[in-house]
Structure 1
Amino acid sequence: MTVVPILFTASYDSKVRLWYDLEQHQISMTCKDLPGHAPSMDIFVGHDGAGIPWSFIVTAGARGMISAYTLGTQSLHIDLSLQRSSNKSNQNVTCVRFSNEADNHKHLFATSYDAKVFLVMTSLIKQKFSADQQQEFMHNTGREIAAVETCELTPRHTRSDKNMGSLDYAATSCSVYRNGIECFVSDTHGQIWFWSPKADKESWLTLLYRNERTRPIQSIACDPCGEFLVATDWDGLIYFFSIKIVNESTDNDVVTSTVELIELTEPGWPYKAPTTVEKVYGLRVCWCHDAQRFAVSQSSGIISLFEMESAHVPRLLDNLVAGDETKWVWDLSFDSTGNFLVSGNSGGIVKLWKQNDSPTAEGPRWKCLKHREIKLQDFMDGRNTGVAHPSPTISSLIYRELPICIYEEMKQNDKVRQQKHNEKFGGFNQPR
């Protein structure tokens, strides 16, 4: 099936934008409103019973809310309000991640600042986005509240609460393990946990690692093959771990694992990118789909790009300058080929990087395609009614491939939207 690369961005002006034609001469986009800014975002692509592809994008952010939006024919979006009770005031969702789309287990994991880990079954989301024509009336009624399979989270675990977890410190990030039902979780106390729904254990959270400075680990990412884990902390350090499988067990035809993390302690690790900034924060970790490269962004505007060697040791390819020292690179994403990398920063600038086809001995291995940059200020309509001016900060982005039928439908919808916009506003402020 023919696929087309699509870029998704979420920003602090409370909008998620869908961009396409980034690699062509035109950059086009459409946008949807969000219930508050979205610091985390993920996309799910599936097929219905007839094999027709469909997809939705999930965003998470303020007020403990997860929202799902269709990208195809249906315009209905569902607010998945997480069921919780907590004495902590900050219940913002910090990360949402789907399990591997190739697995039979399609789960959505989420973490939050009130020290919680959630497992949200996607079956309910799929049902809400059913193509049944009898449900067409729902698509025009706006927002619908949907129940999700979550439990009230407490520090004490019982066997009936298998889809829950609780940490002592705010959970900052999660990364799904290769089997699709387990995940790694990081927190603000410099700890990395492993969440596994095992029936023979009273607790499903296992502490795997704690850094010596107990500095917050901002982001973690497990490679697609489930062999390595990369983390970055609030001191700008990058940690690299090998994942050691201690034991695997089968329960109700579901294979769960017991794992350990082995930290790379060779000279130069943990790695820190050179910078003149006194204080640097590590922000986001991203693996390429082939598990051969990974990138880490920082608050100094630097992206550290690594490649795996045959000895299973990462080698630094380049430190890309994605912005000045005042522009934090909040997120980054590889395309499916590994030849392109997209980054977004706090200045509202999205950059497209391409692997250099003929690098010199002293030249960069990756180059920024300046003519493919997106400046979000150029696309903001300026009609937000808030007291403060909307911020162009890019909080999250994803560079993925969608089936051609969804892509063509998006372009047609965008064309209709632009025609209506031109009729209403006289043709100004059009996407370039």
Structure 2
Amino acid sequence: MHLYGTGRVNDLGHLEIGGVDTIELTKQYGTPLYVYDIALVRERARGFKKTFEELGIAAQVAYASKAFSSIAMIQVAEQEGLSLDVVSGGELYTAIKANFPTDRIHFHGNNKSEEELHMALDYQIGCIVVDNLSELELLEEICAKREQKVKILLRVTPGIEAHTHDYILTGQEDSKFGFDLMNGQAESALRQALKSNWIEVLGLHCHIGSQIFQTTGFILAAQKIIGQLRNWQAAFDYQPTVLNLGGGFGIRYTEEDEPLPASQYVEEIVREVQAQIADSDLTMPEIWIEPGRSLVGDAGVTLYQVGSEKEVPEVRKYLAVDGGMSDNIRPALYEAKYDAVLANRPLDEVEETVAIAGKCCESGDMLIWDLPLPKSGRGDVLAVFCTGAYGYSMANNYNRIPRPAVVFVENGEARLVIKRETYEDLVRLDLALHEVVDCK
């Protein structure tokens, strides 16, 4: 059994996180329940920042809030001195409600609406990461009408494949994201942006994928990007002040995963950028990175109550829990794998291998296929590890299942940070056929 962060087994034989008994949490807040080990989140954030500081490199570590966005989580990011990556008006609004410093917000996305761009300009956020030519033209038009200047990064695709699932590759040439670095798109965008009276091009951004266990992809991306920057320095006398190499740093979901320490990712990225810059007429840019999963992923645990069971003779035993793809769609979407234990009896001897099924009306709603457990059944509490990233943020109301509550635990205290949805919440926006609404 591998426990993360402050996880331990307490004197009652229960799983404890942040000094709080998980079984007591289920009694107070119900199940399913997302639990975050905030001490571990802080440790991860400080690890990234400390490495840059020790290397003497000007940097921003931006929390990629798509991994998990809530007012309380954004407040933790601000407390730890992080910047913030948002990809929608909703994520930006959440940051504003959390009173996050707007000059440390970076706005991503491949299809920002006109309303979202106005919102970003209204709050004078730190920079907009421009993803395509139509967005660049729209932003130029808006800024000219408002007579307002804006700082941007140009997102480029360097043609580097990360060793990860095809659905979450974003840095290769055939991608919906960014300007292609090799076919002239990126150069054309840079030329156009440099001519603008309203746009300041801070530098370039790339993101090569997710759940990456090696530094090779980041190194190759840095080489390709800085190679192009050498050409652009000669052609346009352009010196970038920022190089953003994205995120995608892997975490350990199961024993098969072997991620690198945060410090190693940072050190090898910095060394390569320094080497490439030293071999050019460029000045050393500020380096930005965007960890999301690697900050919150293994800090999250989802607690479920076991319900029904089904035995298929000589095939497998199914245990069903009171959640599933409505609170964790990643196994259905990516065939993602997880480890889990019985939170009420984590040290009991393993007696069987079971399949953990969700309660949604889909045969594909399976959380874990082969999980060694003690003899278990109705009423047991299952703790699924490493659900802190893309669990709540991708949660849904399929089958009209309310989304779970979220609790932060730290130093022996539990704090409810997102309330559990109710059935009333599910129908709050519904209208009956006889109701008339003025759509003006």
Q: Name the TM-score, length of structure 2 as normaliser.
A: 0.27
Structure with max Cα Rg:
2
Higher strand proportion (structure 1 or 2): 1
**Higher RCO (CA 8 Å, separation ≥ 6 residues):** 2
Higher helix proportion (structure 1 or 2): 2
Q: Name the TM-score, length of structure 1 as normaliser.
A: 0.28
